[in-house]
Amino acid sequence: MSTESREEILAFLRCHPPFKDMGAFALDALASALKPVTVADGGHILTPDDMPPDLYIISSGTVQVRQVGDVTLIDPPLYNLEVGQSFPLAATAARRPAINVYSAVGEVRCWRLASADFAALLLSSCEFNRFVLDHVAGLLHEARRQIEIQFGQRNADQQTMNAQLTVFVRPSVIRIAPSTPIAVAMETMVKSKVGSVIIADADGKPAGIFTQSDALRRVVIPGHAVTAPVAEVMTAPPATISSHATAYDAMLAMAMHRIRHLVIVDADGKLAGVVSERDLFAMQRIGLRNVRKVIEGAANMDELARAASDVRRLCLNMLAQGVNAEKLTQFISGLNDSLTRRVIELCLDHHDFDGLHWSWLAFGSEGRDEQTFSTDQDNGIIFACPGGSDCDALRQRFLAFAKDVNEGLARCGFPLCKGNIMASNPSWCLSQEEWRDCFSKWIRSGDPEALLNATIFFDFRPLFGDDALARELRQWLLSQTADSKMFLRFMAENAVKATPPLGMIRDFTFDNNADFPHTLDLKAFGTRPFVDAARIIALAHNIPHSSTVERLRSASAQQLLGGDDINAVIEGFFIIQQLRLRNQRAGTAPGGENRIDPDKLNELDRQMLKEAFKQAKRLQSRLQLEYRL
């Protein structure tokens, strides 16, 4: 390539982003690596068959982007690209096939950057790296939004149709004897606003069904005497289905037999309910709320344990479908809350706390609404001790109850806490005054154990009972920590020790874990810096939220984070959360649930992980600046 042509390329690049913002060294290296390409009208510049895909920069003409598949000339293009634009950034960064066909409109001239040279440029130019990440992040956001919309409906249908009929259909059904006059049967249907009644014998076994359609065809049109028994005009025998059948089974049976009602029977053949075609269509529209209804309808621990298993399968499926980390962790935490509340409700059947004020508290990740697939129990109880009452005797009653709840949660897939941070531990089943005493000691002490306790217990949230007790404790805690500068400084010192594993020379640094060599701990050195920084900011500035993201957003709204781009910080947090969820879904060996080998990530994931770690370091830098560390 001649000197003149290089100067022409440089002049061109300096007119278009992101190249105009790149340093001279990186820009010169880019110009040296570009190769000219000319494509005639209608010709393909790039297709999904070109692997690995190179990057193209349009120097003249228009490039038309179409979907792959059976397209014709009358099909509208997705969009057009103009001079100065690049394609396909996301595919080139991830070294995967392009998903569209790029064709010339008229003669088109491009500069082609080979895939290998593209990878080198990512490493040498932070401006180009940022441009690619921002572009890909925008594409990922839109793609995930579309996936969530499509998956939400598809998953709602699947979950509803796979649920047992008894979960959704009320067992109460209008039943009459075979000798009941037709007029009474019709009058009963009108008054009860139902489309059918079941005719059952003395043993409770269904003998027939009488519907609005039967009334029209067999009574009204032929003029049948309404004083006759309903047995003369009922449909017999009725179409039945087992109470263990699913909604899908019911829909299939209705389609095969061309009927609109099915009588539900139990194992002994006795009447258990009725399901109509209208019921099934209504159930399909309920969506994911059905999952919570299954939980709330569980009559015992066995049913609840099965529901918990279904919840985990659902969440794993959602992750596989591409639902993003923020939505998924909220979903997991929300359903886990429902499971916990139902366990508590079932256990309360055997314990009497009438007249007492108490609340079940969640700590740690559950307290922050940030649970992943791998989570154990962190919980406690706060109770009000009425004047003149024996607090220790009251505590013993709550401990017996808490033991039942902790064991019930374990049956539902939440392992008992190895550190015994559970409500069944007398240390964490405390009165209002006792919790205040604990918090006061930790704030005054500042020793390592106190700091560790603060990172767990200060992220509390009420799940059941009297929420006012938890709100009052939160308000009191914030009034204490806002003025405890030394304690906050100790917490900040402890927080910045968890340095994100970014290297000065290599991409990442490793902690030499013997069991999982060449891996990064995405919890201890990934999400923890975000969580710790957000907690310290909240405690210092009277922010009542327990969630990391809500704490950061509130701090940003109060302009406590300076010029930091809060959206970039939060996106960095959820990039790491997404990798944690993916890793846990893959079934990593125990102890390695939060560890990942960066060499097994594609280039795009590696770059996004690096950017996420940089956002964590930015938060730590703010702590160091504020507390002069």
**Please, what is the angle between helix 247-257 and helix 277-286, to 10°?**
140
Cα separation, 182 vs 519, in Å, equals 76
Residues making up the chain, counted from first to last = 629
Q: What is the mean pLDDT of residues 583-593?
A: 77
Side-by-side strand order, sheet with 358-362: 429-431, 379-383, 358-362, 461-465
CA proximity to 274, closest of 378, 362, 165: 165
- What is the domain class of 3-124 according to CATH? mainly beta
Apex 349 CA angle, 343 and 355, nearest 5 = 105
How would you label 14-23 residue by residue, b for 16+ Cβ within 10 Å and e otherwise?
A: eeeebbeebe
Q: Report which of 496, 495, 499 is spatially closest to residue 520, judged by C-alpha positions.
A: 499
CATH number of the domain located at residue range(s) 165-287 in this protein: 3.10.580.10
Query: What token pair was written down for 91?
Result: 């595919």
Cβ-proximal residues to 589 (8 Å cutoff; 6+ apart), any chain: none
Are residues 201 and 238 in contact, defined by beta-carbon separation less than 8 angstroms? no
Residue 4 has pLDDT above 70, yes or no: no
Handedness of CA 520, 521, 524, 530 (dihedral sign): positive
Asked whether 526 and 534 are in contact (CB, 8 A), the reply is: no
In the chain, % of residues over pLDDT 90:
45
Average pLDDT over residues 38-61: 92
pLDDT at 602: 78
State residue 438's pLDDT score: 95
Q: Are 151 and 322 in contact (CB under 8 A)?
A: yes
Determine the longest span between alpha carbons in the chain, in angstroms: 106
Which of 31-40, 295-304, 382-391, 601-610 is predicted with the least confidence, judged by mean pLDDT?
601-610
- Structural tokens at position 10: 């440089």
3-state secondary structure of 85: coil
What was the pLDDT predicted at 386? 85
**Of 198, 196, 191, residue with least CA distance to 176:** 198
Closest CA to 359 of 339, 342, 343, 380: 380
Quote the pLDDT of residue 588: 67
- Is residue 379 within 8 Å of 361, Cβ to Cβ? yes
Backbone angles phi, psi at 431, to 5 degrees: -80, 170
The Cα–Cα gap between 182 and 597 comes to 74
What would the two tokens of residue 228 be? 């006759």
pLDDT at 157 over 50: no
Asked if pLDDT for residue 140 goes beyond 70, the answer is no
- Asked whether the predicted pLDDT for residue 271 surpasses 50, the reply is yes
Q: Of 379, 400, 287, which Cα lies nearest the Cα of 336?
A: 379
Q: Which pLDDT tens digit goes with each residue over 440-477?
A: 999 998 788 999 999 999 999 999 999 999 999 999 99
Q: Phi/psi of residue 436, each to 5°?
A: -65, -40
H/E element holding 102?
strand 100-113
Instruction: State residue 102's pLDDT score.
Output: 93
3-state helix, strand, coil in the chain (%, to 5): 55, 15, 30
Measured between alpha carbons, how far is 608 from 321 in angstroms, rounded to an integer? 20
CA angle 149, 550, 500 (to 5 degrees): 95
| Segment 519-539 mean pLDDT | 95
Query: What amino acid occupies position 385?
Result: C
CATH class of 321-466: alpha beta
- State the pLDDT at residue 286: 38
Residue whose C-alpha is closest to residue 235's, from 270, 266, 207: 207
- Confidence grade of residue 553 (pLDDT, cut at 50, 70, 90): very high
pLDDT tens per residue, range 71-85: 444 445 667 888 988
pLDDT at 360 over 60: yes
Measured distance CA(627)–CA(614) in Å, rounded: 20
Average pLDDT score over the chain? 84
Pick 291 or 102 by higher pLDDT. Answer: 102
Phi, psi (rounded to 5 degrees) for 330: -65, -40
Q: How many CB atoms lie within 10 A of CB 162?
A: 13
Q: How far apart are CA 89 and CA 98, in angstroms?
A: 9
**Measured CA angle at 461 (ends 457, 465), to 5 deg:** 120
One-character DSSP codes across 415-475 = PPPTT--STTSGGGEEEHHHHHHHHHHHHHH--HHHHHHHHHHTS-EEEEE-HHHHHHHHH
Q: Reduced to 3 states, what is the DSSP secondary structure of residue 401?
A: helix
Cβ neighbours of 37 (radius 10 Å): 16
| Nearest to 422, CA basis, from 394, 403, 408 | 403
pLDDT digits (tens, 9 = 90+) for 222-255: 899 999 999 999 999 998 988 888 776 787 677 6
Beta strand 429-431 with 379-383 is: parallel
Strand pairing category for 379-383 and 100-113: unpaired
180-212 pLDDT tens trace: 999 999 999 888 878 889 999 988 899 999 988
Angle (nearest 5°) at CA 574 between 496 and 527: 25
3-class secondary structure, 143: helix
pLDDT of residue 616: 94
- SS3 (DSSP) at 18: coil
Higher-confidence residue of 119 and 527: namely 527
Task: Say how far residue 177 (Cα) sits from the centre of its chain.
Answer: 51
Secondary element (H or E) of residue 129: helix 126-162
